[in-house]
């Protein structure tokens, strides 16, 4: 039997969330570097656990869909088996007038393909979440899968990591690089906006009044429909407004707080297959 267990804690998967009370520009804290494929199933942006398996049964050519069906009971599909309709009784549709459905992330990055088309690679972190998508149907990247995607990359490709800092000599910038190095993840360090290489994982560190000059970071000010992040920093950097799953403000944090968030943006360059590259940013 697969070792699937109900979660007894609120997952720290801040897909849409924020880790407040973190000094601006500080790192994401301690992490682990798992070598096994992992499977996580949650509800409401990670607030409620459905199932977790740190060592799921994996076939040699499993897709994300097959991995789910192999390890979690009560999975139903639709559209010829290409999309998940329900898991453990949670079914896509409308609840109290709001649209709900299942979404999946591999190594913290939302896929542009269906679950039957995405292959599972060794060490991948696969996360399914059931949530309200009335505000946005795209949450392109999440922070809760750390140290992914830095460890195993995106679509089976390990990507270079660049830490871009307002002050590359600052303690905050150094702590980020040290954390990545301790996990065996070499990272380049430099100033903000000095990297224009496609398919690079970027970590931006600094005060918001500086970071907002970056076109990808600026998506956060436009709200979750643009960034997938359910928090909006003020342009002057003096506050961060936290939003609930329906995009409604819940509280505002003032000076001295910070935000750890993840998003991506399409950039103009093209891969060899003609597809637009993404610019993941943490």
User: What is the CA angle 159-165-171, rounded to 5?
Assistant: 110
User: Can you give the pLDDT at residue 31?
Assistant: 41
The tens digit of pLDDT for each residue in 56-98 reads: 888 878 999 999 999 998 999 988 888 899 999 899 999 999 9
User: Can you give the pLDDT at residue 61?
Assistant: 85
User: Can you give the pLDDT at residue 234?
Assistant: 93
**pLDDT < 70 stretches in the chain:** 1-35, 195-198, 266-282
User: Can you give the pLDDT at residue 255?
Assistant: 81
User: Can you give the pLDDT at residue 39?
Assistant: 94
pTM here?
Answer: 0.79
User: Can you give the pLDDT at residue 29?
Assistant: 33
User: Can you give the pLDDT at residue 280?
Assistant: 54
% of the chain surpassing 70 pLDDT: 80
The tens digit of pLDDT for each residue in 1-18 reads: 233 333 322 222 222 222
């Amino acid at each position: 039997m697969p070792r699937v267990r109900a979660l007894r804690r609120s997952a720290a998967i801040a897909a849409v969330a924020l880790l407040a009370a973190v000094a601006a520009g500080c790192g994401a804290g301690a992490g682990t570097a798992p070598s096994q494929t992992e499977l996580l199933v949650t509800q409401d942006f990670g607030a409620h656990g459905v199932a977790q398996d740190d060592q799921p049964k994996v076939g040699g050519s499993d897709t994300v869909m097959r991995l789910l069906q192999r390890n979690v009971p009560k999975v139903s599909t639709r559209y010829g088996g290409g999309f998940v309709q329900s898991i453990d009784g949670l079914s896509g549709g409308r609840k109290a007038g709001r649209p709900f459905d299942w979404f999946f992330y591999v190594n913290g990055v939302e896929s542009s393909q269906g679950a039957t088309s995405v292959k599972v690679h060794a060490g991948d972190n696969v996360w399914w979440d059931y949530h309200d998508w009335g505000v946005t149907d795209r949450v392109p990247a999440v922070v809760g899968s750390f140290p992914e995607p830095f460890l195993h990359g995106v679509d089976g490709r390990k990507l270079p990591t660049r830490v871009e800092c307002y002050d590359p000599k600052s303690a905050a910038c150094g702590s980020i690089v040290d954390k990545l190095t301790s996990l065996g993840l070499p990272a380049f360090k430099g100033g903000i906006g000095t990297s224009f290489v496609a398919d690079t994982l970027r970590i931006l560190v600094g005060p918001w009044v500086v970071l907002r000059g970056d076109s990808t970071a600026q998506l956060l000010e436009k709200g979750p429909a643009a960034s997938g992040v359910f928090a909006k920093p003020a342009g002057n950097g003096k506050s961060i407004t936290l939003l609930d799953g329906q995009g409604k403000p819940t509280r505002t944090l003032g000076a001295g707080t910070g935000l750890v968030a993840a998003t991506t943006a399409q950039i103009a360059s093209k891969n060899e297959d003609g597809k637009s590259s993404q610019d993941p940013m943490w």
